[in-house]
Chains A and B, each alone.
Chain A
Amino acid sequence: MSEYKMPSLGADMEDAILIEWKVKEGDSVQNGDIIAEIETVKGDIDVEVFEDGVVEKIIAQPGQKLPVGTVLAYIKTDISSSPKEAPDEQPPKEIPPVEIPPVSDPPPTIPPVEIPSPAPDPIREPSPPEITPVKDPIRKPTPPEVVLPMTSINEKNRPRASPLARKMAQNLGIDLQQIKSSNESGVIHKVDIESFIKNKSKNLKPVIQVKEPQESKKNKMRSAIAAAMSKSNREIPHYYLETSIDMKIALDWLRKENSKRSISDRVLPAALLIKATALALAEVPNLNAYWTNEGLQQKENINIGFTISLRQGGLVIPAIQKANQKTLDVLMEELSDIIQRARTAKLRSSELTTGTVTITNVGERGAEKVFGIIYPPQVALIGFGKIIEKPWAINGLLGIRPVLSVTLAADHRATDGIIGSRFLEKLNQLLQNPHQL
């Protein structure tokens, strides 16, 4: 039997309200089935199950506001099939909740903790020969510092707990002082944490107000973004690179293609940029990775997180799975679908947790350049600016060309500028050959 827990849909999520179960006790479920709907600051999300089995016991009730990691139900897993993780890239599960420290009296911080590693992912082979070493023997990766809520503890009266229990508590945002040891030694073990969560889930009172007012949601999303971005900016040593790309060939090709198509089949430059980015990442895989305590973990699938601004404020970053393997038509279809569902708060949990890199395309809204902040545990963010006509010299002749500014924000713990430069150069090459995209 396995525990089905409130998933973490990103570093900026602390809790969610269970809106409804899509299954009942006794129902059979399969990997990928949507089994519940939850309300988060990013909107209502359909959450999936990642194993086959039977819903044995439902613990959480609709209306309850539940922290990430809370057991929602128990699934009796099918003996013949081993539990599976999320379909492609398992997100970093149960990232410790991020708290914004008060300005006047910052809460005590605890020693750095390990962020849970994503599911094992085969390292892409062969790696390019010039790749930066995955692990730096001299400089150990600096684990992120987790700022706990006001209930956090100081070193002196820290409860005694096994390393695993301590890690679990930290990951779930649980104060160890709330937990009683079940053995004589008084040391808290994994089993004590599990029993605490189980009891907590049982005792939770339903929240009367299921739907929060729009303004409150907006403020919460702002706070969540603020916390996640502050953490990223504080912990990730970003480096930035920028290049200008002549888009004449790509846009001419696109115009010609679109003139042969019906309106609804037209391809937008955004699809071209997504595909080119995904193919360039396949050539420079160190940027398609997560940074964890184990160092750089390259991801086999290239899932492009696409930043979508919400009109009511804030943003969401659903991922387009395996974008390098999809045609422009399929990418257009998926992009259109994902944008509409993001705007109507109908995304699936796996879409919010499987991104391996992020694209921001604010150029469409007018900015000439954008320098982004990495969405952890990813190690790169690509920013596309506005395509602007500029004087451009080719073979000694000056002409006017549509020019796109592309920036790369990358994690210097994971890669060096030479890797980033190689990626931008590859991207440029791909966009000069749009017919190959």
Chain B
Amino acid sequence: MNTSDPEFIKTEILKILNKIAPEIDPDTVDPQNEITYEFEIDSMDFLRMVVKIDEVFGIEIPEAEYGEITTLEKLLTYLAKSN
């Protein structure tokens, strides 16, 4: 698998978010809006997402960089850069 492929990253991220918030249809989500708002996730869900990203992509996102992954679009860009 090519972990830097944008399509792969997007698919995996949506899988992670679907597991955390199965009630949210990803097709209805605005990628430029806050993930916490679009997926209705709280800080515990957000932490679960970060933990899962580490497991899937091997990328440990420091707390100080949470500001760079606030939207789905920003998160995908961040992961593409980190790979």
Give A residues with C-beta under 8 Å from B.
255, 258-259, 263-264, 266, 268-270, 309, 311-312, 335-336, 339, 361, 364-366
Contacts and interface: CB of A to CB of B under 8 A. Distances in A.
B50 A263 contact: yes
Interface of A is mostly: helix
A266 B24 contact: no
Nearest to A266: B47
Interface string B43-65: 11101101100100000111110
Given A263-B54, A268-B47, A339-B42, A311 B21 contact: yes
Contacts of A339: 42, 44-45
Given A311-B21, A311-B23, A365-B36, A263 B43 contact: no
A311 B23 CA distance: 7
A365 B40 CA distance: 8
A1 to B, nearest CB: 44
Contact of A311 (B24, B61, B62): B24
B44 A268 contact: yes
Contact of A264 (B21, B37, B45, B51): B51
Contacts of B24: 311
Contact of B42 (A258, A312, A365): A365
A229 B21 CA distance: 27
A199 to B, nearest CB: 42
Given A263-B50, A336-B47, A361-B42, 7 more contacts: A335-B44, A336-B44, A336-B48, A364-B36, A364-B43, A365-B36, A365-B37
Contact of B63 (A255, A336, A364, A366): A255
Given A255-B63, A311-B24, A312-B23, A263 B42 contact: no
A268 B21 contact: no
Interface of B is mostly: helix
Interface string B23-49: 110000000000011001011110110
Given A335-B44, A339-B42, A365-B42, A266 B36 contact: no
Contacts, number: 43
Contacts of B48: 336
A323 B12 CA distance: 36
- Interface size on B, as a range, is 20 to 34
Contacts of A365: 36-37, 42
A366 B70 CA distance: 14
B64 A255 contact: yes
B37 to A, nearest CB: 8
A364 B43 CA distance: 7
B44 A311 contact: no
B23 A364 contact: no
Contacts of B61: 263
Nearest to B63: A258
Contacts of A266: 47, 63
A270 B62 CA distance: 18
A396 B83 CA distance: 48
Contacts of A336: 44, 47-48
The CB with the most chain A CB atoms within 10 A, among B36, B40, B47, is that of B47
Given A258-B63, A263-B50, A311-B24, A270 B44 contact: yes
Contacts of A311: 21, 23-24, 40
Contact of B43 (A255, A258, A259, A269): A269
Nearest to B60: A263
A270 B43 CA distance: 8
Contacts of A361: 42
Interface in B1-38: 21, 23-24, 36-37
14 contacts: A258-B63, A259-B62, A263-B61, A266-B63, A268-B44, A311-B24, A311-B40, A335-B44, A336-B47, A336-B48, A339-B44, A364-B36, A364-B43, A365-B37
A270 B46 CA distance: 13
A25 to B, nearest CB: 38
Contact of A364 (B42, B50, B51, B62): B42
